[in-house]
Amino acid sequence: MNDRVTPLRRAAAEFVGTFGLVFAGCGAIVTNTLSGGTVTHVGVALTFGLIIATMIYATGHISGAHFNPAVTLAFAATRHFPLALVPAYLAAQFGGALAASAALRILFGDAANLGTTLPAGGAGQSLALEVILTFFLMFVIISVATDTRAVGQAAALAIGGTVGLEALFAGPISGASMNPARSLAPAIVSGTWTAQWLYIVGPIAGALLGAFAYQFIRGEGVGEDADPLTDRAGGPTSSLSEKE
């Protein structure tokens, strides 16, 4: 392990990665509105998937590339991430998302509510979707992050592809958030509060279910409070530099 990768540096990587996610992803929604639909829904979904993959490759070897409070909590709950680092990671993720939302507000005003996720139908429908979407996202993440039999160098593509695919079909219904920081930050900055609770409850519940489901299917118990940089279990891309 590189001794220079302190908790502060790890948190900084989470801040930058989550900033990139919200700035590019929500920015695509904003520019799509301002340009009269030039980006398109497919373009927005691809943007979210690509920025996730890119930032995983950029910062995964430093922080594990969570960029998502639900992912961090699920790793901690399955003892694949140190509880002591959870507060710093959550603060960095929400801080990065808020900073990105503020930057979008300065650049583009309040167009498209800064990409705030809003349920198109009933809250119950969107809540169920968010649980299911995040279940499969976390299932993929914990697989490539903790299992030596799973994909190595393509982990970022597997995770980014999952985000993009789920955004393609579920984005028009629930917004396909899967991430409390991604939803709450633009909601706070734009002052849009419609049913935002479901973007906290749904992703966290789905991530926990996905993590424990993979643990069960894998046939092993929970982890041993693994360190994110000395064990593959720390996040999507700790595996990128360690697997063959």
Residues 101-110: tens digit of each pLDDT? 999 999 999 9
Q: Give the whole-angstrom CA distance, residue 32 versus residue 101.
A: 16
Q: Give the whole-angstrom CA distance, residue 166 versus residue 228.
A: 26
In the prediction, which pLDDT does 243 show? 34
Residue span of the structural domain in which 99 resides = 7-234
Q: Find the radius of gyration of the CA atoms of the chain.
A: 17
In the prediction, which pLDDT does 119 show? 96
66 near 15, Cβ under 8 Å? Answer: no
Evaluate whether residue 191 is within a structural domain.
yes
140 near 50, Cβ under 8 Å? Answer: no
Q: What's the token pair of residue 218? A: 């894998």
In the prediction, which pLDDT does 166 show? 98
Q: What's the token pair of residue 81? A: 């991430």
Evaluate whether residue 243 is within a structural domain.
no
The percentage of residues in the chain with a pLDDT greater than 70, rounded to a whole number, is 86
In the prediction, which pLDDT does 3 show? 55
Answer with the residue of higher pLDDT: 98 or 238. 98
Evaluate whether residue 200 is within a structural domain.
yes
Q: Give the whole-angstrom CA distance, residue 108 versus residue 118.
A: 19
Evaluate whether residue 244 is within a structural domain.
no
In the prediction, which pLDDT does 156 show? 94
In the prediction, which pLDDT does 242 show? 36
In the prediction, which pLDDT does 238 show? 46
Domain count, the chain: 1
Task: State the pTM of this model.
Answer: 0.90
Confidence of residue 236 (pLDDT cuts 50, 70, 90): low
Locus of tokens 């995983």: 56
Q: Give the whole-angstrom CA distance, residue 23 versus residue 30.
A: 10
Q: Give the whole-angstrom CA distance, residue 118 versus residue 81.
A: 31
* End-to-end CA separation in angstroms for the chain: 18
Locus of tokens 């490759």: 57
Evaluate whether residue 2 is within a structural domain.
no
Evaluate whether residue 120 is within a structural domain.
yes
Evaluate whether residue 184 is within a structural domain.
yes
Q: Over range 75-98, report the average pLDDT.
A: 97
Evaluate whether residue 240 is within a structural domain.
no
| CATH number of 160's domain | 1.20.1080.10
Answer with the residue of higher pLDDT: 175 or 222. 175
